[in-house]
Amino acid sequence: MSRKTIVVALGGNAIIEEGTEGTMLEQFENTKRSMEAIVGLIREGHRVVLSHGNGPQAGVHLIRHEAASGQVPPSPLNVIVADTQGSMGYMIAQCLANALVVAKLEKDVVTVITQVVVDPADPSMANPTKYVGPFYKAEQVEKLRSRGWIIKEDPGRGFRRVVASPQPLDVVEKGTIKDLIDDGKVVIAVGGGGVPVMRSPEGLLAGVDAVIDKDRASALLANLIGADELCILTGVDRVAINYKKPDQRYFDAMTVAECERYLAEGQFPKGSMGPKIEAACDFIKRGGTKVIITTMENAVAAIDGRAGTVITA
C-alpha cells in the first residue's frame, strides 16, 4: 500500500453533533470519537494534516464579546479566529494524542496557528455575505452600524452582522507545516479557514476582519505542501445530485468537468456541498491528484478506495 500525504478537512459534525448544546464536555467527547478514523489513517502509514471548521465556536466568542462589551473591549474577528484555532487545536491535538497512545502508535501532534493571505480588493470585500455572530432586533441595527459593521437581515430570523469571505491566496506558515510533516509529525492547521491577513507591498502582515472557507483553505494548503490527496469529511457518505428527491443519484466517482456542470446547474448549494465541490475543483486544477468526499466513519475505507466519492481531473 502506498503511503500518502493527506490533508483531512474535518466537518462540523466532528466537533459538535447536531441537536446537542455544544458544551465543552460534549465537544471533547465528540472529538474523541472522531479521532478513530484519523488513527486508522496514521496506522496505515499515511502522513496527515488536519483542518477543521470553527463556525459555532467563533459564534460563541462573538456572543460573549457582545455581552461583555460594556466592561472590556471586544476583539476583532481575525483575533477570534486565532483564539478558536488555539482552543480547538488544543482539544483536537489532545484527543488525537490520547487515541494514538491507546493504539500504541508513537506520533507527535502539533497545532500551528495559521495565517492565510487574502486580497483586500477581493470582490467579496465590497459585498459581504457571510453571516456571523448573534441575531439582533431591528431597533439595534443603527447603533451596530455606527461601529462600522455591515448588518443585513437574515430572512425570517432577525438581523446579523455580515463579513467578507475572500478567496485564500497563500498560507504564511506553509514551510513550517511542510517541515513538521517531513519530520513525522501530525499537524493541525488552517483551523476555521485560517486567520485572514493581507500582505503589504513591503511584505508586512495585518489582520483582516473576514472569514475564509475552511475547505478552500484546506485545498490551498494541500497544494502548497504537495499533498497527494485532499479528504473532505462531511455528513454524507457520497456526493449526490437531486439531493433528497425521488430521482436522487449518488456518485462513486466524478470529474472536475462534471462537478462544474452540476455546480452551474445549482445542484450543490452554497450553504452545504457547494464550497466542498469548489474546493475539490480548486485542488485538482492547481495540480492535485484526487479529492475524496465522505463521512468520518468511512474515511479509512474511502482512502483505500472502498467508500465515498472520488473526484479527479
Exposure on the CB side of residue 269, measured as CA atoms within 13 A:
4
What number of other Cβ atoms are within 10 A of residue 26's Cβ? Answer: 14
Instruction: Based on the residue annotation, tell me whether 104 is a catalytic residue of this protein.
Output: no
The residues facing 198 across adjacent strands are 206
Instruction: Based on the residue annotation, tell me whether 130 is a catalytic residue of this protein.
Output: yes
Instruction: Based on the residue annotation, tell me whether 214 is a catalytic residue of this protein.
Output: yes
Distances 79 to 49, 83, 160, 170 between C-alpha atoms, Å:
23, 6, 19, 19
Query: How many Å from the N-terminal Cα to the C-terminal Cα in the chain?
Result: 22
Instruction: Based on the residue annotation, tell me whether 13 is a catalytic residue of this protein.
Output: yes
- Pick one of 1.10.10.1100, 3.30.2290.10, 3.90.260.10, 3.40.1160.10 as the CATH number of 228-313: 3.40.1160.10
Q: List the catalytic residue out of 11, 12, 55, 194.
A: 12
Q: Do domains 1-30+47-115+174-223 and 228-313 have the same CATH topology?
A: yes
Decide: 160 and 81 in contact? Cβ < 8 Å: no
d(CA 188, CA 78): 18
Q: List the catalytic residue out of 13, 22, 207, 298.
A: 13
| Amino acid in position 136 | Y
Note the pLDDT of residue 1. Answer: 56
Topology of the domain covering 1-30+47-115+174-223? Carbamate kinase (3.40.1160)
Among 111, 82, 113, 114, residue whose Cα is nearest residue 94: 111
Q: List the catalytic residue out of 174, 276, 288, 290.
A: 276
Q: What is the pLDDT along the chain (313 residues), one digit of tens a residue?
A: 578 999 999 987 688 877 778 899 999 999 999 999 999 999 999 999 999 999 888 888 888 888 888 899 889 999 999 999 999 999 999 999 999 999 999 999 999 999 999 999 999 998 898 888 888 888 989 988 988 889 999 888 889 989 999 999 999 999 999 999 999 999 999 999 999 999 999 999 999 999 999 999 999 999 999 999 999 999 899 999 999 899 999 999 999 999 999 999 999 988 789 999 999 999 999 999 999 999 989 999 998 889 999 999 9
Instruction: Based on the residue annotation, tell me whether 86 is a catalytic residue of this protein.
Output: no
DSSP category for residue 223: H
254 alpha carbon, distance to own chain's centre: 22
Q: Where are the domains of the chain?
A: 1-30+47-115+174-223, 228-313
**Can you give the pTM of this predicted structure?**
0.93
Q: List the catalytic residue out of 185, 214, 288, 290.
A: 214
Q: List the catalytic residue out of 22, 40, 130, 298.
A: 130
Q: What is the CA radius of gyration of the chain?
A: 19
